[in-house]
Amino acid sequence: MTCRLAAVVLTRNESKHIVGCLQSLAWADQRVVLDSGSHDDTVTLARRCGAQVLIHPFKDFASQRNAALLAVESDWVFFVDADERATPELADEVRQAVARSEDSRVGWWVPRHNFMLGHRMRGGGWYPDPQLRLLRRGKAHYDPQRPVHEIVILDGSAGTLQNVLVHYNYDSIAQFRDKMLRYTEHECQILYDRGVRTRPWTQVTMPVREFWRRFVGLRGYKDHLYGLLFCGLMAWYTHVTYRRLRQKRAGAG
């Protein structure tokens, strides 16, 4: 039987976060965990919380979210990451959005509060950090050409909710570094597939542009030392991405 709203959480080894996440989603008609092969007790904990658990091998994030859209039986899907929490205010707003049958919108953007090293970020692109997470099933899918930093393709229009998801993003610089280094591999491949070419100076100019964009344009300075740290790290990973792209093109040549 089709329900009105399913909250879906993608997981792999998320035992640290899964209980808190699912508890924050207890208001949804259905809670579904799509697990990609956890080696810890994520699945056991999710079932103990009353969630339905589906197992799906991981290819990339876009494919995983598309698999969830096909697997669940609901009018709407609300995607939440394991390290995110839905506030009670957001829960009320989501319920109101999906209940409005006269509303033609098929997707809703949700702002996020990102906590990095325990600090709630206020600029630099980490706030309001809107995420297109509330989707009308059958009217949305993820672009398969974007395996990371997924892009939703909607058959219709989208609105914006006012209340936030709380994202417990990074506990340490090492965690941030490890994740960003994985992302640079994907971003490098995307640029390579698009035919982007570099010059000797690109590895310098692009990181400078990225730092300026985040610290000045997106007001990373509002986070003081945290802004300086994370905007600087993002500039460094931009350098790594273009360095790898240059090496990849040299190797292909």
pLDDT, tens only, 95-131: 999 998 788 999 999 999 999 999 999 999 999 999 9
pLDDT of 52: 98
Yes or no: say if 238 and 185 are a contact pair by the CB < 8 Å rule: no
Give CA separation, 27 vs 46, 176, 248, in Å: 15, 31, 48
Give the integer Cα–Cα distance in Å for 123 and 229: 12
Domain residue ranges in the chain = 3-169, 172-252
Residue 198: C-alpha distances to residues 139, 177, 207, 247, 252 (Å): 38, 24, 13, 10, 14
The pLDDT of residue 149 is 78
What's residue 3's pLDDT? 81
State whether residue 183 is helix, strand or coil.
helix
What is the predicted pLDDT for the residue at 145?
82
In the beta sheet, which residues pair with residue 140?
A: 154
Extract the runs of DSSP E, i.e. beta strands, from 3-111: 3-11, 30-35, 52-55, 74-79, 84-86, 107-110
Query: What is the rounded CA–CA span in Å between residue 239 and residue 158?
Result: 34
Over pLDDT 70: what percentage of the chain? 99
pLDDT for 226 beyond 90: yes
- pLDDT (mean) for 25-29: 98
The model's pLDDT over 56-71, given as tens digits with 9 standing for 90+, comes to: 999 989 999 999 999 9
Residue 48 pLDDT exceeds 70: yes
Nearest CA to 80 out of 125, 122, 17, 145 is that of: 17
For position 147, what pLDDT does the model report? 72
pTM: 0.92
Give the residue-averaged pLDDT of 139-168. Answer: 93
Strands, sheet with 119-120, edge to edge from the N-terminal-most edge strand: 84-86, 165-170, 112-116, 119-120
Which CATH architecture fits 3-169? Alpha-Beta Complex (3.90)
